Structure 1
Amino acid sequence: MSEPVDPTDDGSAAPSLPPVAPHPGALEALEQKLLGARPHLTQEEVAEQAGITLDVARHLWHLLGFAHTAPGEVAFTDADVHALRLTSDLIGMGVLSQDRQDGLVRTWGRSFARLAEWEVALLGDIAAESGADPTDGLLAIADEVLPRVEALQTYAWRRHLLSAGSRLIAERESGSASTLAVCFVDIVGYTSQSRALTDRELVSWLEAFESAVLGITVDRGARIIKNIGDELLLVADDPAQMAEIALELTARGADEDDLFPAVRAGVAYGEVVTRLGDVFGPVVNIAARLTSVARPNTVLVDRGMHEALSEAGPGDEPDPEPEAASYRLRRLRRVSVKGYSRLHVWCLQQPRSA
């Protein structure tokens, strides 16, 4: 493995963006820049040169999120051959075993497709602001911008690998299962608010929301797993960390002087299944269900969180309102939601000294 890329040190001062000029074959030129050559191979030729079957090549291509190409269609380059050879190597090394292959490649495809859409829209906006056609502008700034974006992506990926690896090592050394506090945070009244915004305003509003949640989450040692529309899924190893995050988010949403939107949250604590950067299991489902029944600016928690925060044992009968050191947990009526009947539920509140 090569040394980590340092995106902040390329040995030269940061250049200004080049002047944008119209480009007559923008798509062809962009193919050349991004793929290293114009398409000149069919998928049959790519599979043959990579040493894998055509069926496997087509399957992987589709998993990455790309449409199937017609037999004999020239749509590929030597970069595609190299990518399939690397994939074949990973299969041979056991990294891409049959039971992991589809999920991992599909995750790559979805993640990079979303990232690429956002980056191209961003670069197109930059080009348009200079008064040029977005297509021509994208081509003009590709040489200056894309290598730096690529270096930053590699840097961020390696940093996240280190973080994930550290968590795995800690779990293995302690011999414990993946026990996490899982929280869903949902924007209240998203549909009605989004109708009053233009597309650009909506994107800006959601990005500001996600950035604020990210800052609060990371500062307290937790992490965002994904966003689902107007909802974010967070996890933390420490239930107290997640309690602080959920309370701060709802407090900000309740502050009329804060631009942060009103939110509601549901938190559950227990063992979860982790796969391809996502989390699954009853704990995740319960957190989602609690969010759906929470009132605006409130945090609902399950019995697992109650026990963790109040230090009640798993077999203890829950105290209706325990005197926890840092939180108030107000017992609510049991609730029945999809898949779960008569759940024990508590409303998490700021400590009395807050």
Structure 2
Amino acid sequence: MDLEPLLLGGPPTLTRLEVAERAGVPIELAEELWRLLGFPRTGDEDVAFTDADVDALRQTRELMELGVLGPDSQAALVRTWGRSFARLAEWQAALLADIDPTDELAREALPRVESLQSYAWRRHLASASARVAALDAGSTTAPMAVGFVDIVGYTSRSKRLDERELVAWLEHFESEAAMLVVEHGGRIIKTIGDEVLFVADRARDAAEVALLMTEREEPFPDVRVGIAYGDVVSRLGDVFGPTVNIASRLTGVARPGTVLVDRGAHDELAADPAYTFRELRRTPVKGYAKLQPHVLRRGNPGA
């Protein structure tokens, strides 16, 4: 089964040198862009490209001429595209694995997959643009809550499951976690095996997500959660800074089934009767000699 001609608009007929020449782009720039995108390296004589590659390279050149892809953003943005689409493609390849490329089904399915992909991107771009517009001009920093969710006993559990069971278990975890985060106005930043990183604009939203996750029963796994609140740097879909680091450290010291919050999150939530806190002893962790954790619990049920 070979979906390549259908996906690329035809069989390969061009070398990389021919693509760069037709697109009007120096071969050095073309090679750099392909490397950042994570494409396999080809030799000068390898016929591995189509007219679609020429169009893509030409459009990249035009974005650079418009100033959308500047010297300071080009490498990071293109690299992020490559990573994101490579992961998406791996999943979609499995989805399409049983489709015969000679079937009408393939020709019917692929445009719909592409259309839905474009729709999802546009909706997310609209939301992200609204968040960026709310920041001070030129700023990439904003106060928010950061949460790390870690599966308890992942290693031992994974050893008892076969491949299909493990995938199903992890997919259930990721699906349920994503649903809870989105329902409470948060955003999933990334999943890292047995861990989920999410953010929310309000500490209360992050607190609800965390407590609901620790309260869920099988087949949702036992988890521990760390939440920190403070200034966060957002860049290319990821988050950085001390607040992110503290949330990660809190997760590392949290006991199974508990939620630990830092001083920033505690101060945001302290006046809310829906929550109670138990202050723990200051805990030395990597990078933070005297981290002050608080155990977050439910307060007045009617609050």
- The answer (yes or no) to whether the contact 2:169–2:219 under 8 Å persists in 1 is no
Cross-structure match for 1:279: 239
- The answer (yes or no) to whether the contact 1:181–1:269 under 8 Å persists in 2 is yes
Q: CA RMSD in A?
A: 1.7
One-letter amino acid matched to 1:296: P
- Cα 1:138–1:183 change in 2 (3 A) is farther
One-letter amino acid matched to 2:60: T
- Cα 1:53–1:204 change in 2 (3 A) is same
Deviations along 1:322-354, whole A, 9 cap, x unmatched? xx4221111000111111111111011111437
- The answer (yes or no) to whether the contact 1:123–1:138 under 8 Å persists in 2 is no
One-letter amino acid matched to 1:230: D
In the alignment, the residues of structure 1 paired with residue 71 and residue 204 of structure 2 have an alpha-carbon distance, to the nearest angstrom, of 39
Deviations along 1:238-273, whole A, 9 cap, x unmatched? 111111110110111xx4xx3210000000000011
- The answer (yes or no) to whether the contact 2:282–2:292 under 8 Å persists in 1 is yes
In the alignment, the residues of structure 1 paired with residue 80 and residue 140 of structure 2 have an alpha-carbon distance, to the nearest angstrom, of 27
Cross-structure match for 2:94: 121
Matched, 1:339 2:299: no
Aligned-residue identity in percent:
57
Cross-structure match for 1:210: 174
In the alignment, the residues of structure 1 paired with residue 106 and residue 245 of structure 2 have an alpha-carbon distance, to the nearest angstrom, of 43
In the alignment, the residues of structure 1 paired with residue 234 and residue 107 of structure 2 have an alpha-carbon distance, to the nearest angstrom, of 39
| Among candidates 16, 20, 25, match of residue 52 of structure 1 | 25
Cross-structure match for 2:165: 201
In the alignment, the residues of structure 1 paired with residue 275 and residue 125 of structure 2 have an alpha-carbon distance, to the nearest angstrom, of 34
Secondary structure of the 2:12 match is coil
Q: How many residues align?
A: 300
Cross-structure match for 1:158: 122
Cross-structure match for 1:62: 35
Matched, 1:267 2:231: no
One-letter amino acid matched to 1:259: P
Deviations along 1:27-50, whole A, 9 cap, x unmatched? 3xx222111121111111111111
One-letter amino acid matched to 1:218: V
One-letter amino acid matched to 1:110: R
One-letter amino acid matched to 2:47: V
Matched, 1:326 2:274: yes
Secondary structure of the 1:171 match is coil
In the alignment, the residues of structure 2 paired with residue 137 and residue 334 of structure 1 have an alpha-carbon distance, to the nearest angstrom, of 60
Q: Which runs of 5+ in 1 are unaligned?
A: 1-25, 128-135, 312-323
One-letter amino acid matched to 2:180: I
| Among candidates 91, 110, 119, match of residue 64 of structure 2 | 91
- The answer (yes or no) to whether the contact 2:80–2:236 under 8 Å persists in 1 is yes
| Among candidates 137, 140, 157, match of residue 100 of structure 2 | 137
In the alignment, the residues of structure 2 paired with residue 194 and residue 154 of structure 1 have an alpha-carbon distance, to the nearest angstrom, of 35
Shift of 1:186: 0.5
- The answer (yes or no) to whether the contact 2:141–2:234 under 8 Å persists in 1 is no
Deviations along 1:153-187, whole A, 9 cap, x unmatched? 011001001111111222349x9941110000011
In the alignment, the residues of structure 1 paired with residue 4 and residue 250 of structure 2 have an alpha-carbon distance, to the nearest angstrom, of 48
Secondary structure of the 2:188 match is strand
Deviations along 1:179-210, whole A, 9 cap, x unmatched? 11000001101111111112121111111111
In the alignment, the residues of structure 2 paired with residue 230 and residue 153 of structure 1 have an alpha-carbon distance, to the nearest angstrom, of 26
Moved more, 207-216 or 141-150: 141-150
- Cα 1:177–1:280 change in 2 (3 A) is closer
Shift of 1:301: 0.6
- The answer (yes or no) to whether the contact 2:284–2:290 under 8 Å persists in 1 is yes
Cross-structure match for 1:293: 253
Secondary structure of the 2:134 match is helix
- The answer (yes or no) to whether the contact 2:12–2:48 under 8 Å persists in 1 is yes
Deviations along 1:132-163, whole A, 9 cap, x unmatched? xxxx6355342121111111101100100111
Secondary structure of the 2:230 match is strand
Shift of 1:229: 1.1
In the alignment, the residues of structure 2 paired with residue 63 and residue 277 of structure 1 have an alpha-carbon distance, to the nearest angstrom, of 17
One-letter amino acid matched to 2:70: S
Cross-structure match for 1:248: 212
Cross-structure match for 1:4: none
- The answer (yes or no) to whether the contact 1:268–1:286 under 8 Å persists in 2 is yes
- The answer (yes or no) to whether the contact 1:247–1:349 under 8 Å persists in 2 is yes
Shift of 1:291: 0.4
